[in-house]
Chains A and B, each alone.
Chain A
């Protein structure tokens, strides 16, 4: 039931964005148009948890027509890179892998294209901490876990040449909403909110 509600919301949001898009563009030289069929967009970014996570990502976007877009998003995240030795607690490793797929709609302006995606995917997180305080026994604990990853992504592209500037903003809807609409789940959602920048390559 919950999933139906979220899917309905995602469709409404896409329809809403689509409604404000231009119905048609003035005929342009295809070489000078921000409309593209297939792009690859590597990038780097951070989570908004005070910038302690570093993200390396790639998105492949396919627009079978001008308005409709599909995306495959992958990322490797090095988590908590700035604090790996604290009060005798060492982080041995801490990373996560994401793979998401999305569908959405694209709107265009002269030099820009804006795509709004509803994304669904999976996240794998692994980390290990070791307490190495000489006063106590050495204790290590490791976590490795898969978790679902749902959210909304906004993708901006600027330029119409083969290479162009991209920026992405991802707002997860988990744990807030999908795990429960309690206010205390918002911290987790904000922690995984991502902001990324990169260079896109037009394939078609």
Chain B
């Protein structure tokens, strides 16, 4: 009887250890090769915030070549996955890799990534975009061997980051040639991103941008799916030159769908750039 209880106790400890290992293991993201990562800080002239920038270089980085560049919003969360995925996808497709530029948080992301002020912590999108356009991109193109043609630039964002990407598409369409918009918060401020698109459509509609839009099929909070579809249909119906793809990640919600959609978006970019 005592032996039986001991065995069961050991089994219990074993099960707990396995579950704990799985839980802890799930918290880690495989770090991108530190030897290929450059890091520096830039203070924004527009808003005064300090942005920590990481640049992930291709494994065989050669200063004599020109590389595409991917600017990653929420960089502190997404950089490792994006940089590792780019390396793998470029290898699988036997094509040139890109530089991955992680934009860290200089201030609250909801300030930087939203276009209009509806509360104390929104509405800094214009200043943040100005920082990217006038400070970050020039610095990257000066210090690294990247292709300066906007067609070789990508912006990748999720949620408010996807909203920011959609707004950049509308108001400064030529700054990036490629947009990976994941679960974009198009609902923000009565769908102001759709209004910005409409206001600038006449200027932008003949541009040949690549846009990948991803969302989670289980995002049923009553605000994500219809505006997502509205943006998708707007781009599909009004932008004749656009390369457009969409993906609904099965069974996953707003956060859970992010990583699978990042990988699908990067694959779409590498295969269609």
Contact = CB atoms under 8 A, between A and B. Distances in A.
Interface of A: 9, 12-13, 15-16, 18-20, 23, 79-80, 83-84, 86-89, 91, 94, 125, 127, 129-131, 133, 135-137, 139-141, 143, 145, 147, 174-177, 179, 181-188, 191
14 contacts: A9-B18, A12-B11, A15-B11, A23-B1, A87-B187, A87-B223, A88-B191, A129-B226, A137-B230, A141-B226, A141-B228, A184-B258, A185-B256, A187-B254
Given A181-B22, A183-B26, A135 B222 contact: no
Interface in B1-54: 1, 4-5, 8-9, 11-12, 14-15, 18-19, 22-23, 25-27
Contact of A89 (B25, B217, B226, B234): B226
B121 interface: no
A143 to B, nearest CB: 6
Interface string B199-237: 000000000000000000110111111111110011000
B252 A141 contact: no
Contacts of B218: 125, 145, 147, 188
Mostly, the B contact residues are: helix
The 4 closest A-B pairs by CB, nearest first: A19-B8, A129-B226, A16-B12, A141-B229
A133 B223 CA distance: 13
Contacts of A147: 218, 250-251
Given A12-B14, A84-B222, A88-B190, A139 B256 contact: no
Contact of A135 (B195, B229, B234): B195
A176 B11 contact: no
A174 B223 CA distance: 23
Which one of B229, B230, B259 has the greatest number of beta carbons of chain A within 10 Å? B230
Given A130-B226, A139-B226, A188 B187 contact: no
A191 B23 CA distance: 17
Interface string B227-265: 111100110000000000000101111111011000000
A174 B251 CA distance: 9
B220 A133 contact: no
A184 B12 CA distance: 27
A152 B181 CA distance: 35
A175 B187 contact: no
A131 B227 contact: yes
A9 B15 CA distance: 7
B225 A129 contact: yes
Given A175-B251, A179-B256, A187-B254, A139 B220 contact: no
B156 interface: no
Given A12-B11, A177-B22, A184-B259, 16 more contacts: A9-B15, A15-B11, A18-B8, A19-B11, A79-B220, A86-B223, A87-B223, A94-B220, A129-B225, A133-B191, A139-B226, A139-B233, A176-B26, A184-B258, A187-B253, A188-B253
A187 B248 CA distance: 17
A87 B220 contact: no
A89 B222 contact: yes
Contact of B187 (A18, A89, A130): A89
A183 B29 CA distance: 9
A83 B222 contact: yes
A80 B187 CA distance: 16
B82 interface: no
B191 A136 contact: yes
A174 B1 CA distance: 36
A104 to B, nearest CB: 15
Given A83-B222, A186-B26, A16 B256 contact: no
